Amino acid sequence: MVDAGLQALTHAADPSSKESKIAQRYLKSYFGVKIGDEKSGLIKKNLEAVQNFMKGNSKHERTPRLYCDDTWLERLSRTNAAWNTEEGTEGSRKEIMEEGPNGLVHKKIEDIKDYRPFLFTEDEKTGQYVSNGNAPYWSDDLHEYVFQEDYGDKSYCTKPGLDGKTNLAGTQDQSEPSTVTLCPLSFSNPQAIDSLGSKTPTAGMSIPEFLPKSATFYHELFHLAIDVLTTPDPFYSWKEIQAVLKKPTGRPRKYAPLNNHNLVCQNPETYVFFSVGYWNFLQTNWNDKQSNANKRWSFQSGVAQLVQID
In terms of domains, do 204 and 220 share one? Answer: yes
In a domain, 80, yes or no: yes
In a domain, 131, yes or no: yes
Q: How many helices (H) and strands (E) does the chain have?
A: 9, 12
Mean pLDDT by 10 residues, the chain (310 residues): 98 97 98 96 98 95 96 97 92 91 93 96 88 97 96 94 86 96 96 96 97 98 97 96 96 91 98 98 75 82 92
User: pLDDT tens digits for 188-222?
Assistant: 999 999 999 999 999 999 999 999 999 999 999 99
In terms of domains, do 185 and 96 share one? Answer: no
Query: Is the Cβ–Cβ distance between 39 and 263 less than 8 Å?
Result: no
Query: Is the Cβ–Cβ distance between 280 and 287 less than 8 Å?
Result: no
In terms of domains, do 189 and 258 share one? Answer: yes
In terms of domains, do 129 and 184 share one? Answer: no
What is the C-alpha separation between 110 and 77, in angstroms, rounded? 9
In terms of domains, do 123 and 187 share one? Answer: no
In a domain, 159, yes or no: no
| Boundaries of domain holding 302 | 2-69+164-308
Residue 302: per-residue pLDDT: 97
What is the C-alpha separation between 23 and 213, in angstroms, rounded? 25
What Å distances lie between residue 36 and 8, 19, 42, 43, 215, CA to CA?
13, 17, 10, 11, 27
Q: What is the CATH number of the domain that holds 210?
A: 3.40.390
What is the C-alpha separation between 284 and 97, in angstroms, rounded? 66
In terms of domains, do 61 and 38 share one? Answer: yes
Residue 287: per-residue pLDDT: 58
In terms of domains, do 254 and 280 share one? Answer: yes
DSSP state letters, 162-229: TTSPPP-EEEE-SSSS-EEEE-THHHH-TTSBSSTTSS---TT-BGGGG-BTTHHHHHHHHHHHT-ST
In a domain, 63, yes or no: yes
Please count the structural domains in the chain.
2
Bridge partners, residue 144, by sequence: 139
Last residue of a domain, one of 154, 188, 211: 154
In terms of domains, do 178 and 243 share one? Answer: yes
Residue 293: per-residue pLDDT: 62
Residue 292: per-residue pLDDT: 61
In terms of domains, do 134 and 224 share one? Answer: no
In terms of domains, do 51 and 89 share one? Answer: no
In terms of domains, do 177 and 119 share one? Answer: no
In terms of domains, do 274 and 188 share one? Answer: yes
**Strands (E) located in the chain:** 65-67, 74-75, 97-100, 103-106, 120-122, 129-131, 134-139, 144-149, 169-172, 179-182, 295-298, 305-308
